[in-house]
Amino acid sequence: MLINTILILFLNNNQLQLGIPSSQTFRDSENLFKTFSAKPRSVNNHNRIKVVTHSVGSSITAVDDAEKALLSIEDAEELVVCVDEGHVKTTEGQRSIEALTSVIYHPESLTSNKKGTRNTLSSKSCAASVKDDDQKEIINNTIVAALKQGLTPNTHICDGATNCWNVVEGLRSLSGGMTCILDWFHIAMKMQNIALPEKEKSKFIRIKWHLWRGNTEATITRLQQLMATVKSKKSVGKIEKFKNYIQNNVARIVNYRERKKKRLIFTSNLAESTVESLTNQRCKGQKHMRWSREGLNPILQLRAKIHTDDWDNKWRVIILNSAL
């Protein structure tokens, strides 16, 4: 009984040591633990916290690989896969490195608030990687995350990805079909970032009307006409870049208006908060930290696991595995 109690206390302390440093700096985490304990403890020094975090984060992929063949979950008829990328400041001789993240969930996991707006995911699985390995780890982790949500050869996948198509394509052979959709959220953001005079702006809004209905031919024609009337070279360059973006993704542009009417997935903005929390804390924006791939990847693995709904059931196995 005493041994079991000591083991549970050890595991709970390690779970706390993992949750906080996944979002705080290691030194800030040390100060928080000092406050919790009401005194400094050597086990909670920032270097020890760093070692534990990296050890556990590095072991997660191995645990997931071992579980892959043993997964037995109710088959899913349809899954939504949202893949996104973020750029993180690096120490590796370049300005930034690319972090890839994916969120997988059942369409029925979208829950509504009192106003009837679908804005909450009740269940999801997450994956992440910053490794420079031709996307092998992120594809493998995304497959594991999809299997945890019930992926089978009978499952249809609706993809809300931006341009991270290789990751999603890694699921094609394991599913019964796939609908690839260029995320409307990102289309709208790209259009919003193109500043135009009032006269041209009204024409640009009309172009958005065509695009919302999936009419890519009219969209491209109108963009070409708009480029001929805009005087600013900078604005012309932005419009041309957007036109190329649409042309390169014609096969993935759908009738967003029709899908919204039928309450079908057409954007990944519902998963956006999860994606942001995986890469932004301590990594992006005004943060001064710079990362190596080796230092950041274990933290991303840990964050992805914490944001996945089976974390409460699996953290003990992961911690014990990392101690072996």
- Is 287 inside a domain boundary? yes
How large is the greatest C-alpha to C-alpha distance in the chain, in angstroms?
80
pLDDT of residue 95: 78
- Is 210 inside a domain boundary? yes
Same domain, 177 and 277: yes
Range with the largest mean pLDDT of 2-6, 110-114, 122-126: 122-126
Same domain, 6 and 140: no
Summarize pLDDT for 222-281 with one digit per residue, the tens. Answer: 999 999 988 888 889 999 999 999 999 999 999 999 998 988 888 776 666 666 666 665
- Is 40 inside a domain boundary? yes
DSSP state, residue 90: B
Summarize pLDDT for 116-170 with one digit per residue, the tens. Answer: 555 677 888 889 898 999 999 999 999 988 988 888 888 888 766 655 888 988 9
Q: Show Cβ contacts of residue 186 under 8 Å, excluding neighbours closer than 6 positions.
A: 162, 268
Name the residue with higher pLDDT: 71 or 88: 88
Same domain, 49 and 162: no
Q: Which of 23-32, 197-206, 211-220 has the weakest average pLDDT?
A: 23-32
What band does 308 get if pLDDT is binned at 50, 70 and 90?
A: confident
Same domain, 57 and 200: no
Same domain, 136 and 239: no
pLDDT of residue 1: 42
Instruction: For residue 263, count other CB atoms closer than 10 A to its CB.
Output: 10
What average pLDDT does this structure show over 271-294? 65
Same domain, 79 and 176: yes
Amino acid (1-letter code) at residue 94: Q
**0.85 exceeded by pTM:** no
pLDDT of residue 307: 80
Amino acid (1-letter code) at residue 136: K
Residue span of the structural domain in which 162 resides: 75-182+272-309
Sheet of 156-159, strands arranged across? 125-129, 96-105, 78-89, 156-159, 177-180
Q: Show Cβ contacts of residue 137 under 8 Å, excluding neighbours closer than 6 positions.
A: 61, 129, 131, 297
- Is 41 inside a domain boundary? yes
Number of independent structural domains in the chain: 3
Same domain, 201 and 130: no
Phi (first) and psi of residue 154, to 5 degrees: -95, 0
- List, in sequence order, every beta strand (DSSP E) within the chain: 78-89, 96-105, 110-112, 118-121, 125-129, 156-159, 177-180
- Is 258 inside a domain boundary? no
Same domain, 234 and 247: yes
Same domain, 92 and 21: no
pLDDT of residue 100: 87
